[in-house]
Structure 1
Amino acid sequence: MSSYRHPGIVFTDRYFTVPLDHSDPGGEQIEVFGREAVASGRTGEELPWLVYLEGGPGFGARRFVGTEAWLGRAVQEFRVLLLDQRGTGLSTPANRQTLPLRGGPREQADYLTRFRSDSIVRDCELIRPQLTGGEPWTVLGQSFGGFCAVRYLSAAPEGLKAVLITGGLPSLDAHADDVYRAAYPRIERKVAAHYARYPQDVERAREITAHLLEHPIESAGHRLTAEGFQSLGIMLGGGSGSHQLHYLLENAFVRTPHGTELSDT
């Protein structure tokens, strides 16, 4: 373990060993990383634990600077574990670079079945007694982390003192397609509101799309297409996302010896 200080916070890096397949506890083992956060001046106190489950799936826990966002509020009451769910962050990775080690597509797909919410919850239940001495803890689930929290409530409620969910609450009877279809009108309104705020972005988005239709971009193993560019609309779901998207679009092109190209930005 290593500890270091930020303004108002002491962080401690922790690694835990868990089975890749919880039905075979003596088989292959992987690492799960968690970053403990506690308020400065309270490091020696007995505080209840809160484990944070990030969204995604596929994202490690947010890397906070000091007491920013909700962490400053949380450490007023809790010792917080910012968990990199298995396969993400500093946990044993499962990504496009590491998956070929498992074999072909079929073998990779089978391997990834070990990285679902059921395994994430069982990881938590192995980690919890190491930190709390067996006492239940509070879970904060964001987006996909909320789905994991619901799984936790179903599979191991005895490990939970409370559950906080910010998004990621699955429907009891609706199909995922129903949820997406219900979102389409809202997305349409957000796009229209963005273009009303920044009308110059209409032509810029068309220019970018036309360029990508003629010249898809290959970079660092990824291929940026017109459809990929459209996915930037996810930024409109955030509070300042419309402004961030505008600043990205306004810096889209650069003149080069080979003519106008999309900028690295």
Structure 2
Amino acid sequence: MSALPRPTAVLCALVAAAALLPTAAPARAATPLVFGACPDSVPKPPAPDRVECGHLTVPLDHRHPSGRRIEIAVSRVPASGTPAERRGILLVNPGGPGGLGLPYAVTKRAKLPASVRRSYDVIGFDPRGVGGSAPVDCGAMGGLFTAPGADPVPAGPRAERAYLASQHRMAADCAAGAGTDALPYLSTEQTAYDMDAIRAALGEPRTGFLGVSYGSYLGAAYAARFPHRVGRMVLDSVVGPWDWYDFDVIQSRALLAARDTFFDWTAAHADRFGLGGDRAAVRRSYLRVRQGLTARPVNGFGPAEFDRAVYRALGRTERWTSLADGLRAYLTDTAVDGLRPAAAFDGPQSRNYEAANRIVKCADGPGPTPHEIVTDPGRIRRLDPQPVLTGLEATTCAYWHHRPDRRTALGGPAAPPVLLVASAHDPVTPIQGARELRELLPGSRLITLENDYSHGVFASRGNACVDSAVAAHLVDGVVPAADVRCAGPGLPAAK
């Protein structure tokens, strides 16, 4: 396996990189943001709340503001409280890279504690390259959208050569679709500048921020560039301060542990699912399904689609029942209808997401080598012969047409304390990432939801301990005296 980042060395390098970069000048907008009606893709909040949308023009490269410009789509749900209760703006990001932010202002706000809704104008925005903000298209992406897709776990020289060729084609498709001149600027760093441009256009002195998953990485990048513009910041389900490819490999290991937990849980409900009475028996049932779909895909549903369904299900325990039912349905009558919804992939939004995901990851820092992207899957297979490698998204960066020579700077000592929130057993963003990012944010605190196995915690898991601590920080600026541990829900009931 390629050498994973050593925490001390990486943290020191990131702090040094941040120190060498001058604090970014505050963004200046020529005109304020003008809001009006939103596109149909943005849901309407229940009355009396309202959502409004607008566009902000920003430089493609903020370091050269007189050059090419792009538009950023922005949404706003105004605070519902009195003027005395208002705390400013709360930008929100749902993750990705590639997640739509415009509707997220409405959907996430609906789940926030009432005190937060009363205190903040919730601001959504489609990051550059996504949705309504100069969306990118990578075309066929090396066959990524072909159904059934090629087995995502290359085994043997022939499969490895085909895998490398597909990653090479994906990089070429993105260069052709997005344009090689734009690739360096569709990055997290440039999106952080966009965030500050939104703040300036709204006439606000500080940026409150709630970022989930990739949104935590974006928030940490903003804190590195604009530490004195950071208001109250919450980073949920934290991406660690690693190169993206290293993150993908770490995630693939965490998914193995999560899948074993799923096997144990399914075995504990053997009467319900009929897949076996212990981990080994359930695993055999699981492998029978995957091997059957590899030998004979069902209506375009093969091993790639199966692994995608498993990947999505492992990240949220409320999806485990559907996954177990889907396995049983295939074994009893070769049906894949129960698995197919979790693997739904094609369509304009999915294509934009996948394109933006690769483009941002490859713009954020050095990519792997072709040697690494074929040897690492083999090393992971030595941990488990049949891993889930769906999350290895930065592999295409081995062939990228723009090769950054430095990684994105995150955090820094000048930023105020922030709250980091993590599920103890989240397989999508393993908790070690939150612990390492906290070292780059002095004075910050980590809130851990113990005995939990899902991705996304604050205003998502319904945990009063987490939600009250985060709300106290956002509304009143409370920073806990020490890290907080909240009792989690444990494994789900089998419905």
TM-score bucket (shorter structure): 0.7 to 0.9
Q: Distance in 2 between matches of 1:253 and 1:160?
A: 53
Identical amino acids, percent of aligned pairs: 20
The 3 A distance-change label for structure 1 pair 212 and 27 is: farther
Q: Deviations over 1:166-196 (max 9, x none)?
A: 02242479x5377337625532433323432
Q: Distance in 2 between matches of 1:244 and 1:217?
A: 18
* CA RMSD across the alignment: 3.8
For structure 1, the 5+ residue unaligned runs are none
Given the two structures, how large is their TM-score scaled by the length of structure 2? 0.44
Are 1:51 and 1:80, in contact at CA under 8 Å, matched by a contact in 2?
yes
Match of residue 293 from structure 2: 212
**Worse-superposed segment, 231-240 or 77-86:** 231-240
The 3 A distance-change label for structure 1 pair 54 and 105 is: closer
Q: Deviations over 1:83-134 (max 9, x none)?
A: 221122332211334999xx85545474333222101101111111111x14
Q: Distance in 1 between matches of 2:207 and 2:190?
A: 18
Q: Deviations over 1:19-39 (max 9, x none)?
A: 222233233322221221125
Q: Distance in 2 between matches of 1:114 and 1:253?
A: 48
The 3 A distance-change label for structure 1 pair 88 and 249 is: farther
Q: Distance in 2 between matches of 1:204 and 1:66?
A: 37
Match of residue 231 from structure 1: 308
For structure 2, the 5+ residue unaligned runs are 1-35, 39-43, 143-171, 276-281, 342-495
Are 1:84 and 1:91, in contact at CA under 8 Å, matched by a contact in 2?
yes
Q: Distance in 1 between matches of 2:140 and 2:66?
A: 23
Q: Give SS of 2:78's match.
A: strand
Q: Distance in 1 between matches of 2:255 and 2:179?
A: 30
Match of residue 95 from structure 1: 137
Q: Distance in 2 between matches of 1:204 and 1:23?
A: 55
Map 1:119-198 to 2 at 5 A.
119-131=190-202, 133-171=203-241, 176=247, 179-180=250-251, 183-184=254-255, 186-196=257-267, 197=269
Q: Distance in 2 between matches of 1:226 and 1:66?
A: 33
Residue 8 of structure 1 deviates from its aligned partner by 5.0
Are 2:140 and 2:173, in contact at CA under 8 Å, matched by a contact in 1?
no
Q: Taking CA–CA contacts closer than 8 Å with sequence separation of 6 or more, which of the two structures ends up with the larger relative contact order?
A: 2
The 3 A distance-change label for structure 1 pair 113 and 46 is: same
Are 2:88 and 2:204, in contact at CA under 8 Å, matched by a contact in 1?
no
The 3 A distance-change label for structure 1 pair 17 and 216 is: farther
Matched, 1:21 2:21: no
The alignment covers a number of residue pairs equal to 253
Match of residue 37 from structure 1: 77
Match of residue 11 from structure 1: 51
Q: Give SS of 2:240's match.
A: coil
Match of residue 112 from structure 1: 183
Give the one of 117, 120, 123 matched to 1:81: 123
Q: Distance in 2 between matches of 1:8 and 1:207?
A: 53
Matched, 1:69 2:111: yes
Given the two structures, how large is their TM-score scaled by the length of structure 1? 0.75
Greater percentage in strand: 1
The 3 A distance-change label for structure 1 pair 171 and 25 is: closer
Q: Distance in 2 between matches of 1:15 and 1:218?
A: 42
Are 2:255 and 2:314, in contact at CA under 8 Å, matched by a contact in 1?
no
Q: Distance in 2 between matches of 1:23 and 1:98?
A: 32
